Amino acid sequence: MVGEMSAPPLSPGGGGAVGLDVIRGRRSRSGCQSEMLDSLLASGGGLVLLRDSVEWEGRGLLKALIKKSALCGEQVHVLGCEVSEEEFREGFDSCVNSRLIYHDLFRDPLNWSKTGETSPGGPLGVLRAMCRRKDPGPATIALDSLSWLLLHLPCTTLCQILHALSHQNSYPGDSSPVKQVHVLGLLHEEIHGPGLLGALSNLAQTEVTLGGAMGQASAHLLFRKPQQHPTYQTSWFSILPDFSLDLQEGPPLGPQHHSDLHTSLVDPMTHLTFNLHLSKEEKEAKDSLILPFQFSSEKQQVLLCPGPGQATSRIFYEPDAYDDLDQEDPDDDLDI
């Protein structure tokens, strides 16, 4: 079952299914572990983009979301391109594993083994088959990873398929109810350029960018709801060995926090043994001083026109025997 039924429903009118009220009630408790997962798997379906990096992996969060969906009764299709089925299923209990269908694109995606086990059409064929899925009921499709698919399929094709997957509405003329499909895509953002990332970002209803600081993982969430402003949220979390989520307060603020508390405005010149202050007259004299190598117009005049002070300096010159006394001034041809 989804969770305990003891929490009171938030809305007194009691509209909606009982299960939804339980989820709302759980959301009201602070630090609730499933709050973040609930917001990511919100009703309406759509593409959830999990952007991870080398240092902060996203597969753990992807598996946590898969576990949540499976425990809610949804069927989960995993397109596994990067890890083996055995490794992916590790850590899930039998309840989750029974709802998980693994489409293996890890072992032989390009048919190099020539054993005939590869599905015809390759990765594209598998994706298209998923689009044509006719099973009723909500489902979750996990793509591990979108980066692998982007490297092997043209971006436009993949974007079209993603759009088709996340909007698996009823066909015209079909009276069956709208199928709610969550598409979870794991994307390694360092591999791709900004153009590709932007294109996928525009397709996504929700974006989760994983990061962290000081050993604590964080998720920066961006929700795009139609006709509403995008909303942002940052959560600090850790994933437990059974792939449930544990929300944290955030990393300890560390040394910079302590320095803010203890530093006060101290004048560094109070305890010196020498005087660094300038009196008003000293300041004025300092400001009006002409620097020796600053060539101002006054200085130019002083140099060019010998003033009364120049007569005091003399040059005493004793020519040697072999000196060539040329009275011609070599600078005569300069036009100053």
Partner 1 sequence: MFPELNSLLNTTPAGVEQGKMTLLCDAKTDGSFLVHHFLSFYLKANCKVCFVALVQSFSHYNIVGQKLGVSLTMARERGQLIFLEGLKSSVDVFFQAQEEPHPLQFLREASAGNLEPLYQFVREALRPVDDGEATWKCPVLLVDDLSVLLSLGLGAVAVLDFIHYCRATVCQELKGNVVALVHDSGDAEDEENNILLYGLSHQSHLILRAEGLATGFCKDVHGQLRILWRRPSKPTARQDQSLTYQYKIQDRSVSFFAKGMSPAVL
Which spans of this chain sit near partner 1 (rule: CB under 8 A)? 54-57, 59-60, 82, 84, 86-87, 90-91, 106-110, 112, 145, 147, 151-152, 188, 190-191, 193, 212, 214-217, 238-241, 243
Q: Which residues pair with 223 in a beta bridge?
A: 206, 231
Question: In this complex, which beta carbon is closest to partner 1, that of residue 20 or of residue 57?
Answer: 57
**The one-letter amino acid at 248:** Q
Distance CA 145, CA 73 (A): 23
| CB of 220 vs partner 1, minimal distance in Å | 16
In the bound state with partner 1, the residue whose beta carbon lies nearer, of 75 and 218, is 218
Taking the least distance from each CB to partner 1, the nearer of 40 and 187 is 187
Please say which residue, 86 or 323, places its beta carbon nearer to partner 1: 86
- The nearest distance, CB 26 to partner 1, in angstroms, is 22
Task: Please state the closest distance from residue 105 (CB atom) to partner 1, in A.
Answer: 10
Output the smallest distance, CB 65 to partner 1, in A. Answer: 13
Minimum CB–partner distance for residue 274 and partner 1 (Å): 34
| Residue whose CB is less far from partner 1, 54 or 261 | 54
- Token pair belonging to 76: 């989960």
Residues 55, 40 contacting (CB under 8 angstroms): no
Q: What minimum distance in Å lies between the beta carbon of 108 and partner 1? A: 7
Calpha distance 96→70 (Å, rounded): 6
Closer to partner 1 by Cβ: residue 20 or 56: 56
Classify residue 65 by burial, with Cβ atoms within 10 Å: 0-12, 13-18, 19+: buried
**CB of 87 or CB of 282, closer to partner 1:** 87
Cα atoms in the 13 Å half-sphere on the side-chain side of 230: 13
CB 194 → partner 1: shortest distance, Å?
Answer: 12
> Closest separation between CB of residue 258 and partner 1, Å?
20
Task: Tell me which DSSP letter residue 205 carries.
Answer: S
In 3D space, the residue among 7, 24, 27 whose CA is nearest the CA of residue 15 turns out to be 24
Q: Of all helices (H) and strands (E), which one includes residue 101?
A: strand 100-104
- Asked if 143 and 183 count as a contact pair (C-beta separation under 8 A), the reply is yes
Q: Which uninterrupted H or E stretch holds 237?
A: strand 231-239
Q: Quick check: 200 and 185 in contact, CB under 8 A?
A: yes
Q: How far apart are CA 144 and CA 122, in angstroms?
A: 15
Q: Is the Cβ of residue 215 or residue 292 nearer to partner 1 in the bound state? A: 215
**Least gap, CB of 63 to partner 1 (angstroms):** 8
Of 130, 199, 206, the residue nearest 168 (C-alpha): 130
Dist. CA 126–CA 119, nearest whole Å:
7
Going from the C-alpha of 269 to that of each of 151, 182, 265, the distances in angstroms are: 62, 65, 12
Nearer to partner 1, 39 or 248 (CB): 248
